[in-house]
């Protein structure tokens, strides 16, 4: 252990020898131990506490189709964890220039990116497309650590920066290639580190009739990110009966249509059968699944760039991340 002095409040405290960054336990100031420079560190406050998050999860499930009538009373929490998940935030701008017979054109892409700085959750893929609550984001406070499970970043800001650069480059190049048949290249790229953000996410495990289900809630805006829930026997029966009825009615109707229009009843039956299988697929799949799943949509998909798209790019480029380890000591 070694003694350090906080450049912000002047308090002295101990950190482990290998640490390169630390957060002052007295004032929450996070800084680089070598340069003593500030590491911009935010967190999002928890507006949804354990009870309100659990209520939100239940009321979300209750508005879904086919939830058992006794769900509200008969479901019990078995495990609940508040995770503070680190994300590196970047402001990126890139420009691509294309040269073609028609002339030269430039294209721009401006993007704010949040790169998850810790891997190993079963919900890693959900984090990649996560958007922040419009409310919140305040200076990191050490008191946060007492309330939830805190994860120091295991992916350094440098490798996240390389990742962000690859993402914005590939997006602007794609835009150039879609707009111009010629030779395109990146002519400018600018990646600014906004800072490290710790984001609160509730992970729930609950029981209903001896079966375990899980759910994830955004701790700041209460959005249901993911949930599993049971379907009642009546709902399953209704879905099965309806899909069988649809298939039967379509085959019968198809037979009539086939014989009237083209005087070929067999053809009509076959077409009706295929069409109704397609159309009743959502009912059948729901009826036959063991656990139903859902998530809450808040914003509509951006028509120009969806968050899923960014998520898939993170996944793609993360393959060559350099993963420079950063030791954090909190």
**Interface residues for another protein in 191-210 (CB under 8 A)?**
194-195
Burial of 123: CB neighbours in 10 Å, binned 0-12, 13-18, 19+: middle
Strand pairing report for 75-100 and 149-150: parallel
Closest by Cα among 161, 180, 148 to 113: 161
Burial of 67: CB neighbours in 10 Å, binned 0-12, 13-18, 19+: buried
- Yes or no: say if 195 and 39 are a contact pair by the CB < 8 Å rule: yes
Q: To the nearest whole angstrom, how small is the minimum distance from the Cβ of residue 139 to another protein?
A: 6
Q: Does 103 bind another protein (CB under 8 A)?
A: yes
- Yes or no: say if 307 and 298 are a contact pair by the CB < 8 Å rule: no
Q: Does 258 bind another protein (CB under 8 A)?
A: yes
How far is it, in rounded angstroms, from Cα 114 to Cα 85?
A: 12
- Residue closer to another protein, measured from CB, 275 or 327: 275
Q: To the nearest whole angstrom, how small is the minimum distance from the Cβ of residue 283 to another protein?
A: 6
Query: Which of 80, 93, 162, 189 lies at the binding interface for another protein (CB under 8 A)?
Result: 93
Query: Which of 276, 314, 318, 328 lies at the binding interface for another protein (CB under 8 A)?
Result: 276
How far is it, in rounded angstroms, from Cα 235 to Cα 257?
A: 32
Q: Which stretch binds another protein (CB under 8 A): 14-22, 155-163, 204-212, 274-282?
A: 274-282
Q: Does 76 bind another protein (CB under 8 A)?
A: no
Q: Which of positions 213-252 make contact with another protein (CB under 8 A)?
A: 221, 223, 239, 242, 246, 249-250
Q: To the nearest whole angstrom, how small is the minimum distance from the Cβ of residue 234 to another protein?
A: 12
Q: Does 114 bind another protein (CB under 8 A)?
A: yes
- Residue closer to another protein, measured from CB, 157 or 276: 276
Binding mask 158-187 for another protein (x = CB under 8 A): -----------------x--xxxxx-----
Query: b/e string for 169-199 if b means 16 or more Cβ within 10 A?
Result: bbbbbebbeeebebebebeebebebebbbbb
Q: Does 286 bind another protein (CB under 8 A)?
A: yes
Q: Which of positions 12-71 make contact with another protein (CB under 8 A)?
A: 25-28, 40, 42, 56, 58-60, 62-66
Q: Does 283 bind another protein (CB under 8 A)?
A: yes
Cα distances from 189 to residues 91, 107, 165, 225, in angstroms, run 11, 12, 7, 33
Q: How many residues bind another protein (CB under 8 A)?
A: 86
List, in order, residues 6 or more apart from 257 with CB less than 8 Å away: 268, 272
- Residue closer to another protein, measured from CB, 182 or 327: 182
Binding mask 123-142 for another protein (x = CB under 8 A): --------xxxxx-xxx-xx
């Amino acid at each position: 252990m070694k003694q350090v002095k906080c450049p912000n409040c002047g308090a002295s405290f101990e950190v482990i020898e290998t640490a390169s960054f630390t957060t002052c336990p007295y004032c929450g100031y996070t800084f680089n131990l070598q340069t003593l420079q500030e590491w911009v560190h935010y967190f999002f406050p928890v507006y949804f506490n354990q009870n309100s998050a659990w209520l939100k999860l239940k009321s979300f499930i209750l508005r879904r189709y086919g939830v058992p009538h006794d769900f509200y009373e008969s479901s019990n929490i078995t495990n609940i964890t508040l995770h503070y998940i680190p994300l590196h935030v970047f402001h990126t701008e890139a420009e691509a220039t294309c040269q073609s017979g028609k002339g030269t054109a430039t294209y721009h892409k401006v993007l704010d990116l949040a790169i998850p700085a810790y891997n190993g959750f079963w919900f890693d893929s959900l984090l990649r497309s996560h958007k922040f609550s419009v409310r919140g984001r305040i200076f990191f406070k050490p008191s946060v650590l007492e309330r939830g499970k805190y994860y120091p970043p295991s992916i350094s800001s440098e490798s996240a920066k390389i990742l962000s650069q690859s993402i914005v480059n590939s997006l602007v190049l794609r835009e150039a290639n879609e707009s111009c048949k010629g030779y395109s290249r990146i002519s400018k790229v600018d990646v600014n580190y906004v800072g490290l953000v710790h984001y609160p996410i509730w992970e729930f495990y609950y029981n209903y009739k001896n079966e375990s289900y899980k759910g994830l809630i955004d701790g700041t805006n209460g959005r249901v990110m993911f949930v599993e829930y049971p379907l009642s026997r009546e709902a399953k029966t209704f879905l099965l009966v309806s899909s069988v009825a649809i298939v039967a009615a379509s085959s019968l109707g198809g037979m009539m249509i086939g014989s009237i229009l083209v005087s070929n009843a067999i053809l009509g039956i076959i077409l009706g059968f295929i069409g109704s299988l397609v159309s009743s697929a959502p009912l059948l799949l729901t009826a036959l699944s063991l656990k139903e799943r859902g998530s809450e949509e808040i914003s509509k998909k951006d028509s120009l760039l969806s968050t899923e798209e960014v998520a898939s790019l993170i996944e793609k480029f993360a393959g060559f991340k350099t993963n420079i380890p950063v030791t954090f000591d909190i």
